[in-house]
Structure 1
């Protein structure tokens, strides 16, 4: 019996390979059933994101080569096309790897929390497909518990490490509760989408998204209960905005000093927090000289990000210590399963001996033999039966010079050097 984690990620494989090895959600049930139909696979789960595809399996024998063959064939790739990018973690290392993945320690952005939700989705898909049972169920539940412990006991996710996160963190420092604020996001690319997501998670009061293509702005705004406008409509809404985050591909400034000055007057000089993430800049530098404007550029945010990365790296060391301990605990439980069959066989043999001797003792009682004599017979006979095989094997071990077996017997039966 063994555990295997096999896969590729952003560190080992280029994006074109990751794209070809991804599992679309609609095909996941079929893929899971195919995976667990392999002769050596007892249980299986698949994690598939934009940055990684990983297979977690409980095998009844070592078989990662067969898993690689299946993964290659499923995605119609030659084995030699995929093998250079694949990593394999067996047994204890598989447990540690899953714990590191769930905690964001193996992510492109250290400590990012989205991967835990993706792992929970992967586990749910495998549960619904009926491809996880006792062992993987216990592993994933343990993983979720450890990930929660790491989030609680360390600062792995507390500090900003992306431009969007840093911008929203600064906005919170200025306004505190964002529930009564309005944000104007200019652009509709990845950074603006991340900023919108972070603001939404912070219970932002109102969101306006402006973009050259209104359809794109509307598609993004609809995800966060926002309002979409075109770029030429920005002046009409500037006075509403407490937070402005700009990230477009424009070669000239989208917001100029005079436009902002007019909006500030309409706001009665209520402060505005502005972040210009674009290169070239979207906001004229002169805007930063206006009173009641807090203007940050991407260079200003880099210091915040570097401090956040340092904090997360320190937290990652704490997280690794937790993972070492928790992986050992789980793997100890896993190793204990190897003894279960032997324990069951010992108990079955002992119970058979008990029934046999008890039947004879009851027969003697029915024949009128004294109870004390019957009890003596039962105790003596049962003891002999239970110890006969161990005693014979230990005598043979002594004859053969197998001192390690005799020492193991002392430990097994809890005997000290005197034999007591």
Structure 2
């Protein structure tokens, strides 16, 4: 250990002194001392015994002490050796006694507060009730198998149905709580035993029935008593009508004039599903005065196709300086019927509309001047009407603004 320390301190002289002592021992310089000690196991190892090692250390130190030319004095040098030897355990404290690997010093600190990721929870069914069967798996349920037909003897409706199951008891909000719903053809619900109100809708047709679920599967076929209505329109002599300008509205056929609107803005050739009964249909061709009304009956299980006839035509008005000229901008238009009633008002270089057949007056106002012209509309004959801005067509009255 001393030799290792001397090498670590960079003192080759002291190490050489130790080698010299050992060499004297082998050459017999201190052989007499060894012989007096008697035979020992150390002899076989050709190394001095413990007492000889002490002697050699003493000789080494005396030799070093006599060297006054060293930079350190004897006492200071011994202190340096002692400090060096005492430092060895301190260095060794940083070593693992088993592996001699330096031990790492780690510092554990708390993790910084990280932002929590947003939880993507499944959205709740708008119709789900806390008391619904799917939210209470402990409740024993029974199957309610539902189908719907348009009429007695008809087939099951395969698609387009909307089923809703309500509790018969009114909730705190004054509404019947919705227990379950489904879309498509037939539907199967798992419900606890009890009474329910079942509503099925097929387009504008619908039916409601109270159904009691017992201790066995319940099969129920609901009759909608409904049919369909398909609407279209034509011009006289079978002329083709502009379907882009054609719309229908369906009202309930009530005795009073205040009919409730059931289906607005129906495009032509669209099948509307309705309960059987009579309905009031209004057909608008354009947005002026081409209006036809009719009462149409719908029968259960049947499609009613109704075609109305419009005696009207499309008309385009324009104000020009001469016949065949360009339309003048910044023009305001008014169209009056034969009775003097205003049928349509608009603004622009062109004014397009659909008018029923008859006599009309076109009034154009441009730059504080008023011009007018009489014209006639024939059913099915679309035309362009020019109003010439000259003295012949200019109105002497400013009564029309």
Q: TM-score, normalised by structure 1?
A: 0.17
Q: Which has the higher strand share?
A: 2
Q: Which has the higher helix share?
A: 1
Q: TM-score, normalised by structure 2?
A: 0.18
